[in-house]
Amino acid sequence: MIASNYPFLTNELYDVVRLFGAEVEVEHALSYENGVFSNSFSVNGERFSSEDVHVCKDELSFKRYAKRFSKLALYRHLAKLYGEMPWGALTGIRPTKLAYAERKEGRAFEPLFRQMGVREDNIALIAEILSHQRAIYEGNKGGLDLFIGIPFCPTKCAYCSFITADIRYTERYLDDYLTVLEKELAGAKHLLKDVKSVYIGGGTPLVLDEKRLERLLKAVKDCSLSGEYTVEAGRPDVFTRGKLDLLKDYGVNRICINAQSFLDETLVKIGRRHTAKDVFDAFELAKGYPFSVNLDLIAGLEGEDEGDFAHSLKSAIACNPDNVTVHTLCLKKGAKLKEETDRLDGSVIDSMIALSRAYLSEAGYAPYYLYRQKMMAGNRENVGWTKPGKACVYNVDVMEEITDNLAVGANAISKKLCGGGRIERYASPKDIPTYLAKIDEIIAEKDKLFEET
């Protein structure tokens, strides 16, 4: 149980407790007088307090510093009991946004990160990421990215908590889904001005057969877009030459061929129907096409140790992708694997992440975007790595929230930047039948979001 005299702090304190995975009772009281924040805590009956000085100019700044100092005080206490965390008291999804916010106020971000207990290697990583995404970040002149969600997969992977389903159970919706997507895209055409990038993801878009895939690609083509165009083609078990030909013919210039692991034993355990050889074969096939290729790996998969992960990293590098995204296993509700992963040892994950940084840097990749999620094994992060000049615009835009995002499909979240850091969102229904039934309402809501704000 966590209680605070300022209710807006309860969730923030809960996020700190969750970092340690500990069962603790927290009572918290904050007072603010003459520029002094006084935080008093009782944690499992043990009392402590701290004082920090900051003169707040308005309500917004009060909230910001109240969060910062109360989280920090609780973090320091719990870190003494359970050990330090790689990102210290930072619990947000986007540490890079916090770094930019400091820079915008004329300060270096490093002192704040140090104050929050972030480890030096992670501070250095953030600095590297900011420098490698600079061209995209600083070249940003607004505009919009288009996301198209295809929540269908060949099988559901055991670790995955995305809203997507095994196509055996959802195939009956597929044609209607495409019809509604066509309608949604046509309905959004007048909003699709100055589109910087298109991303078809999900899900596994290449689970569509060639006829259906062409319908989808044609609907996008009818919107007359240009620029970066990614299809998260996804699993190598759905790759065919015919589908890749279609992607090329319709102007796709970036695809993902995701391995997750290069150990066949792991791939069986996590319910993916392909082998490591299938990944190599998919890369061989993709060589004949003008695509930039991304490959996803996950650190911390069931039963894997550092040696296994090193094998996956080396195999990934041998495939020579333009981008490698190293995810850390995330323990969200909805994934079958949750039971096993709860017991993962943070130090094993730490070694895996250290290996990924060493091997990928050595192979000529640079980190260019990063995000964190709640419930990640070892409280780590996901990092996108790129070869020089191959950074994905869409990923930077989405992570840094520097462009509008018009998202179509079930469970697609559109975002409109409204100035002053405020973002308006619209999320379409998660389940496919509701999405299909409500399409007219969804189109109208999106019109309202992008035209009125």
Interface with ligand SF4 by CB under 6 A: which residues?
153, 156-157, 160, 162, 164, 202-204, 234-235
**Closest CB to ligand SAM: residue number:** 258
Question: Of the two residues 86 and 409, which places its CB atom closer to ligand SF4 in the complex?
Answer: 409
Residue 74 near residue 50 (C-beta atoms within 8 A):
no
Interface residues toward ligand SAM, by CB under 6 A: 153, 159-162, 201, 203-204, 232, 234-235, 258, 260, 296, 298, 327, 329-330, 335
Alpha helix ranges (H) inside 304-345 = 306-319, 338-341
Give the separation between CA 143 and CA 134, rounded to whole angstroms.
17
CA-based torsion, 207, 211, 217, 222: positive or negative: negative
Please state the closest distance from residue 440 (CB atom) to ligand SAM, in A. Answer: 28
**315 contact, one of ligand SF4, ligand SAM, none, CB 5-8 Å limit per kind:** none
Question: Of the two residues 68 and 156, which places its CB atom closer to ligand SF4 in the complex?
Answer: 156
**384 contact, one of ligand SF4, ligand SAM, none, CB 5-8 Å limit per kind:** none
Reading the block at residue 105, the tokens are 């106020």
Question: Of the two residues 88 and 234, which places its CB atom closer to ligand SF4 in the complex?
Answer: 234
Residue 250 near residue 220 (C-beta atoms within 8 A):
yes
Question: Of the two residues 132 and 272, which places its CB atom closer to ligand SF4 in the complex?
Answer: 272
- CA-nearest of 238, 160, 234, 196 to 397 is 196
**414 contact, one of ligand SAM, ligand SF4, none, CB 5-8 Å limit per kind:** none
142 upstream amide cis, omega within 30 of 0: no
Please state the closest distance from residue 441 (CB atom) to ligand SAM, in A. Answer: 26
Residue whose entry in the numeric block shows the structure tokens 């929540």: 151
Residue 207 near residue 178 (C-beta atoms within 8 A):
no
**232 contact, one of ligand SAM, ligand SF4, none, CB 5-8 Å limit per kind:** ligand SAM
Question: Of the two residues 234 and 367, which places its CB atom closer to ligand SAM in the complex?
Answer: 234
Please state the closest distance from residue 437 (CB atom) to ligand SF4, in A. Answer: 24
Please state the closest distance from residue 147 (CB atom) to ligand SAM, in A. Answer: 11
Residue 170 near residue 410 (C-beta atoms within 8 A):
no
Reading the block at residue 86, the tokens are 């790689």
Question: Of the two residues 152 and 450, which places its CB atom closer to ligand SAM in the complex?
Answer: 152
**78 contact, one of ligand SAM, ligand SF4, none, CB 5-8 Å limit per kind:** none
End-to-end CA distance of the chain: 39
In the chain, how many H helices and how many E strands? 17, 17
Reading the block at residue 216, the tokens are 């989808």
Question: Of the two residues 203 and 367, which places its CB atom closer to ligand SF4 in the complex?
Answer: 203
Residue whose entry in the numeric block shows the structure tokens 């975002």: 415
Question: Of the two residues 330 and 402, which places its CB atom closer to ligand SAM in the complex?
Answer: 330
Question: Of the two residues 71 and 327, which places its CB atom closer to ligand SAM in the complex?
Answer: 327
Please state the closest distance from residue 267 (CB atom) to ligand SF4, in A. Answer: 11
**156 contact, one of ligand SAM, ligand SF4, none, CB 5-8 Å limit per kind:** ligand SF4
Neighbours of 106 (CB within 10 A): 6
**144 contact, one of ligand SF4, ligand SAM, none, CB 5-8 Å limit per kind:** none
Please state the closest distance from residue 375 (CB atom) to ligand SF4, in A. Answer: 16
- DSSP secondary-structure letter at 155? S
Angle subtended at Cα 177 by Cα 174 and Cα 182, rounded to the nearest 5 degrees: 130
Query: Please, which residues have CB within 8 angstroms of residue 437's CB and are 6 or more apart in sequence?
Result: none
Residue 84 near residue 117 (C-beta atoms within 8 A):
yes
Please state the closest distance from residue 339 (CB atom) to ligand SAM, in A. Answer: 13
Please state the closest distance from residue 58 (CB atom) to ligand SAM, in A. Answer: 39
Reading the block at residue 211, the tokens are 């006829």
Please state the closest distance from residue 72 (CB atom) to ligand SAM, in A. Answer: 28
